[in-house]
Amino acid sequence: MASIAVTKPAAVDSQELLTRVQTDRSCRQTVLIYYTSAVFWLLLGSVLAILASLKMHIPGFLAEWEWLTFGRVRPAHLTSMIYGWAVMAAIGTLLWLQARMGRVRLPLPLLLPVSGIVWNVGVAYGMIAILIGYSTSTEWLEFPVPVLGFFGFCLVLVIYASLVMMMRRKVHHTYVSQWYIYGGVLWFPFLYVSALILTQAPHVNGTVRAIANWWFAHNVLGLWLTPIGLASAYYFIPKVTGRPVHSYHLSLLGFWTLALFYNWAGTHHLVGGPIPAWVITVGIVGSMMMFIPVTTVAINHHMTMLGQFGHLKTSPTLRFVVFGAMSYTLVSFHGSLAALRSFSEVAHFTHHTIAHSHLGVYCFFTMMMFGAMYYIFPRILRREWSSAPLIKVHFWTTAIGSIIYVVGLGWAGLVQGWMMNNPDIAFMDVVKYTIPWLESRSVAGTLMSIGHVVFAILVWRMLRGDGAEQQGPTLFTTARSLRAQRERKARARERAKGVA
Amino acid sequence: MLVVYVVIWSSAVLLGLSAVWGLVWAIRTGQFHGLREGAESIFDDGEPVGTPTDFFPGAARSAASASGTKAGAMEEKWRR
Ligand code: HEM
C-alpha cells in the first residue's frame, strides 16, 4: 500500500477509494499474467490466421513442410485464439470484475498467478502437439487429452476464487454481471470435461460424437465467452458513462433466459447432417428462444447508450465495448435466423459460417476484451496508456479489418451457397468465384494483425512504465497524490544530481 | 457404456439442481428486490452516478473539469 498515495479529500469517502485501490492492487500479478499471455497468443494466433487465410487462395504456399499445412495451421489458429487469447483474457477480466464488484481482494495471491503459468504450459503443449500431428481432430477439442489436466488445475482454482469472493463480498446485491460470471465459471468446466469424455471415449462414435462435439463447441461460445463478454458490457458501459443500466429487471430476465435456452441450441450446427431430425429441431427451437435474452440485452445496451454517444470520442474502453455490444446483437439475431432449415440450405458449409463465427469471436468477444483491457491495465498498474494516437490506430485497424472480413465473406458465402445449389454450375466455377473474396480476407486479416501488433506495443510500453503515472479522475488523482508524485520525482532528480 | 451414462445423467441432474438452487437462493435472499439500488451498486461515493471514468490518456483532466461532475470540481479546486 505504501507506494500508492491515497488522500482524503472532503468530497470522497476515503474508505471506498481505499477499497477500490486495494482490490485493484490485489489483482495485479494474476491479471497481468493472464493478460500478457493472452496478448502473446493473440499475436501467434494472428500469424497462424494469416497463413491459413493465404493458403486458401495460394494453395502451394509453404506446403512443403507438413507442420505448416492447412490441416494443422487452421486448428492451431483456432486453439491459439480460443484457449490462448480468448479464455486467458476472459479469466483475467472475470477475476478483476469480481473483486471490483464484490469490493473484496482477490484471494489466492500465490496460486492464481501460478495457474496462469500452468495454463500457458497447457496451451503450448497442445499447440505443439497439433503442429507435429497429434491433434485429436475433433474441432474445438484438438488438444490431446492430457492438456485437460493443466486446464483442470487452473479452472478449479478459478472456481474456488470465485466462490470465495462471492462469500466474502461486501455488497449484498448480486449485480447482473456477477450472475453472468458465476454462470460462466460454473458451466465451462462442466462443459469441457463432459465433452472431452463424450468425444474421446471409445464407446462414443459416429454421429453421436458429432452431436456431443457441436453441443460443446456452441456452448463454449454461449455459456462461457458470451457471459463474460456480456458481464463486461454490463459493467463497463454504465461505469464509463456514469449512467446505470437502462432497465435492470430486463437485464436479469436476459440472464435467466440465456441460462435456460442457450444449452439447447448447439445442434443447429448439424442442420442437414445425418442425425435424427428431432435433434436438429430441438436445436432450432432453442435458437429461436434465444431471441428473448438477445432482445433484452440489445434494448438495454442501446438505451443505456442513448444520448451518451459523445463519450465514444473520449473513452477508448467505450469504443471497443460499444462496438462489441452492437456486434453481439447482430451476431445473435443472425445466428438465430441462420439456424432455420431454409437459411441453412443455402449458407451451411460455405464461407458464410466463417463470417458468422468471426462476427462472434472477433467483433463481439475480442473487441469486448480489448475494451476491458483498456480499462483494467491502467488501474492495476496505476499508469496511463502511453499514446492516444496508437489506441486510435488499434481501434480503426481492427474495426475496419473485421468489417471487411465479415461483410466480404458473409456475402461471398451466400452467393457460393446459391451457386452450389444450382446443378448447372460447375463446382470449379464456384471455387473461382470465391477467390477474390478469400483474398479480401487476407487483406482484412493483415489490417487486424497490424492492430494487434500496435496493441502489443501499447501493452509492452504499459508494462515498462512509459505512461504518465496516476493521472486524471480515471485513477482518481488527488491533490496530495500528485504532490507526492512530484516530490518523488524531485527526490529522484536530486539523487541523480548527487551521483553525478 | 455404463460410465458414459453415469456421466451424462449425473451431470445433467447436478447442473439442473444447481440452477434451481441458484434461483431459490436468489429469491430467498431478496436479490430481486430493490432493483434500482441494485443497478447503482457498481457506483460509490468516489465514482458516483454521473461521473464518466475513462478517457484517452492526456485528455483526462480537461474532460473531467468540463463535465462539471464531482471529480471535475475536485480537479478544478485543486488547480486553483
Ligand atoms: C487476424 C485476424 C483473423 C484472421 C485473418 C482469421 C482467419 C481465419 C481462417 C482463415 C479460418 C479458417 C476458415 C476456414 O476453414 O474456412 C479461421 C477459423 C476460425 N477462427 Fe479466425 N481469424 C482471425 C482472428 C480470429 C480470432 C481473434 C478468433 C478468436 C477469438 C478466431 C477464431 C476462429 C475460429 C473459432 C475459427 C473456426 C470457425 C468455424 O469453424 O466456424 N479467429 N480464422
**Gap between the Cα atoms of A321 and A323, Å rounded:** 5
**Residues 14-43 (B) with a CB less than 8 A from some CB of A:** 15, 18-19, 22-23, 26, 29, 31-32, 34-43
Is the CB of B76 inside 8 Å of chain A's CB atoms? no
Which residues make Cβ contacts (< 8 Å) with residue B29, sequence separation at least 6? A172
> pLDDT tens, position by position, for chain A (500 residues)?
333 333 334 344 567 777 888 889 999 999 999 999 999 999 999 999 999 999 999 998 998 999 999 999 999 999 999 999 999 999 999 999 999 999 999 999 999 999 999 999 999 999 999 999 999 888 888 999 899 899 999 999 999 999 999 999 998 899 999 999 999 998 888 888 788 877 877 777 788 888 888 888 888 888 899 999 999 999 999 999 999 999 988 999 999 889 888 888 888 988 888 888 998 998 999 999 999 999 999 999 999 999 889 899 899 999 999 999 999 999 999 999 999 999 999 999 899 999 999 999 999 999 999 999 999 999 999 888 999 999 999 999 999 999 999 999 999 999 999 999 999 999 999 999 999 999 999 999 999 999 999 999 999 999 998 877 754 434 434 444 455 556 666 777 777 776 65
Q: Does B55 contact A474 at a Cβ distance shorter than 8 Å?
A: yes
Q: Does A384 contact B47 at a Cβ distance shorter than 8 Å?
A: no
Q: Which residue is closest to A253 within chain B, CA to CA?
A: B32
Report the b/e string of A184-196 with b at 16+ CB within 10 A.
bbbbbbbbbbbbb
CA-only gyration radius of chain A, Å: 23
Whether B15 maps to a domain, the answer reads: no
CB of A78 shorter than 6 A to ligand 1: yes
CB of A353 shorter than 6 A to ligand 1: yes
Q: Which of A500, A484, A419 is nearest to A4 (CA)?
A: A484
**What pLDDT score does B68 carry?**
39
Complex confidence, ipTM: 0.76
Instruction: Compute the count of residue pairs across chains A and B with CB atoms less than 8 Å apart.
Output: 152
**What pLDDT score does A5 carry?**
37
Q: How many residues does chain A have?
A: 500
Which residues make Cβ contacts (< 8 Å) with residue A368, sequence separation at least 6? A229, A232, A233, A320, A321, A324, A325
Surface-to-core class of residue A373, CB atoms within 10 Å of its CB (0-12 exposed, 13-18 middle, 19+ buried): buried
Instruction: Give the model confidence (pLDDT) of A202-259 as tens digits.
Output: 777 788 888 888 888 888 888 899 999 999 999 999 999 999 999 988 999 999 889 8
**Residues 50-69 (B) with a CB less than 8 A from some CB of A:** 50-61, 63-64, 69
- Considering only the C-alpha atoms of chain B, give the largest distance between any 2 of them, rounded to a whole number of Å: 77
**Gap between the Cα atoms of A445 and A447, Å rounded:** 5
**Are A337 and A343 within 8 A, CB to CB?**
yes
Instruction: Give the model confidence (pLDDT) of A361-389 as tens digits.
Output: 999 999 999 999 999 999 999 888 999 99
Q: Which residue is closest to B8 within chain A, CA to CA?
A: A194
Residues in A closer than 8 angstroms to B60, CB to CB, are 384, 471-474
**Are A118 and A186 within 8 A, CB to CB?**
no
Whether B61 maps to a domain, the answer reads: yes
Whether A472 maps to a domain, the answer reads: no
**Gap between the Cα atoms of A185 and A380, Å rounded:** 22
**What pLDDT score does A448 carry?**
98
**What pLDDT score does B63 carry?**
45
Residue that the C-alpha cell 441494485 belongs to: B38
3-state SS record for chain A:
CCCCCCCCCCCCCHHHHHHHHHHHHHCHHHHHHHHHHHHHHHHHHHHHHHHHHHHHHCCCCCCCCHHHCHHHHHHHHHHHHHHHHHHHHHHHHHHHHHHHHHCCCCCCCCHHHHHHHHHHHHHHHHHHHHHCCCCCCCCCCCCCCCHHHHHHHHHHHHHHHHHHHHHHCCCCCCCHHHHHHHHHHHHHHHHHHHHHHHHHCCCCCCHHHHHHHHHHHHHHHHHHHHHHHHHHHHHHHHHHHCCCCCCHHHHHHHHHHHHHHHHHCHHHHHCCCCCCHHHHHHHHHHHHHCHHHHHHHHHHHHHHHCCCCCHHHHCHHHHHHHHHHHHHHHHHHHHHHHCCHHHHHHHCCCHHHHHHHHHHHHHHHHHHHHHHHHHHHHHHHCECCCCHHHHHHHHHHHHHHHHHHHHHHHHHHHHHHHHHHCCCCCHHHHHHHHHHHHHHHHHHHHHHHHHHHHHHHHHHHHHHCCCCECCCHHHCCCHHHHHHHHHHHHHHHHHHHHHC
Of B55 and B61, more confident: B55
Mutate to test the interface with B, among A239, A314, A395 (most CBs of B within 10 A): A314
Least CB-CB distance to A472: which of B3, B23, B64?
B64
**Are B1 and A203 within 8 A, CB to CB?**
yes
CB of A213 shorter than 6 A to ligand 1: no
Å from CA of A46 to ligand 1 middle:
9
Q: Which of A240, A227, A78 is nearest to A162 (CA)?
A: A227
Whether A412 maps to a domain, the answer reads: yes
pLDDT, averaged across chain B: 73
Whether B72 maps to a domain, the answer reads: yes
CB of A440 shorter than 6 A to ligand 1: no
Domain tally for chain B? Answer: 1
DSSP string across B11-74: HHHHHHHHHHHHHHHHHHTTTTS-HHHHHTTT--SSS-TT------TTTHHHHHHHHTSHHHHH
**What pLDDT score does A217 carry?**
87
Whether A324 maps to a domain, the answer reads: yes
Å from CA of A323 to ligand 1 middle:
19
Which residues make Cβ contacts (< 8 Å) with residue A303, sequence separation at least 6? A246, A247
Of the residues A43, A51, A70, A78, which should be mutated to test ligand 1's pocket, given the most ligand atoms within 8 Å of the CB? A78
**Are A96 and A31 within 8 A, CB to CB?**
yes
Whether A335 maps to a domain, the answer reads: yes
**What pLDDT score does B59 carry?**
65
Whether B22 maps to a domain, the answer reads: no
Of A165 and B22, more confident: A165
**Min distance A355 CA to chain B CA atoms (Å):** 31
**Gap between the Cα atoms of A49 and A56, Å rounded:** 11
Whether A179 maps to a domain, the answer reads: yes
From residue A212, alpha-carbon distances to A74, A205, A270, A281, A382 in Å are: 21, 10, 11, 16, 45
Whether A329 maps to a domain, the answer reads: yes
CA-only gyration radius of chain B, Å: 24
Q: Which amino acid does the sequence have at A473?
A: P
Which residues make Cβ contacts (< 8 Å) with residue A468, sequence separation at least 6? A383, A384, B57, B58
Residues in B closer than 8 angstroms to A189, CB to CB, are none
Å from CA of A271 to ligand 1 middle:
21
Domain tally for chain A? Answer: 1
Surface-to-core class of residue A279, CB atoms within 10 Å of its CB (0-12 exposed, 13-18 middle, 19+ buried): middle
CB of A348 shorter than 6 A to ligand 1: no
**Gap between the Cα atoms of A234 and A244, Å rounded:** 9
Residue that the C-alpha cell 451457397 belongs to: A417
Residue B75 structural domain = 55-80
**Gap between the Cα atoms of A416 and B65, Å rounded:** 55
Whether A123 maps to a domain, the answer reads: yes
**Are A323 and A399 within 8 A, CB to CB?**
yes
**What pLDDT score does A14 carry?**
63
Instruction: Give the model confidence (pLDDT) of A156-196 as tens digits.
Output: 999 999 999 999 999 889 999 999 999 999 888 888 878 88
Which residues make Cβ contacts (< 8 Å) with residue B28, sequence separation at least 6? none
Whether A493 maps to a domain, the answer reads: no
Residue A142 structural domain = 14-467
Q: What is the mean pLDDT of residues B22-51?
A: 87
Whether B12 maps to a domain, the answer reads: no
**Are A191 and A224 within 8 A, CB to CB?**
yes
**Gap between the Cα atoms of A47 and A358, Å rounded:** 16
Å from CA of A445 to ligand 1 middle:
10
| CATH assignment at residue A202 | 1.20.210.10
**What pLDDT score does A489 carry?**
65
Q: Does B38 contact A248 at a Cβ distance shorter than 8 Å?
A: yes
Whether B29 maps to a domain, the answer reads: no
**What pLDDT score does A114 carry?**
97
**Gap between the Cα atoms of A71 and A91, Å rounded:** 29
**Are A114 and A33 within 8 A, CB to CB?**
no
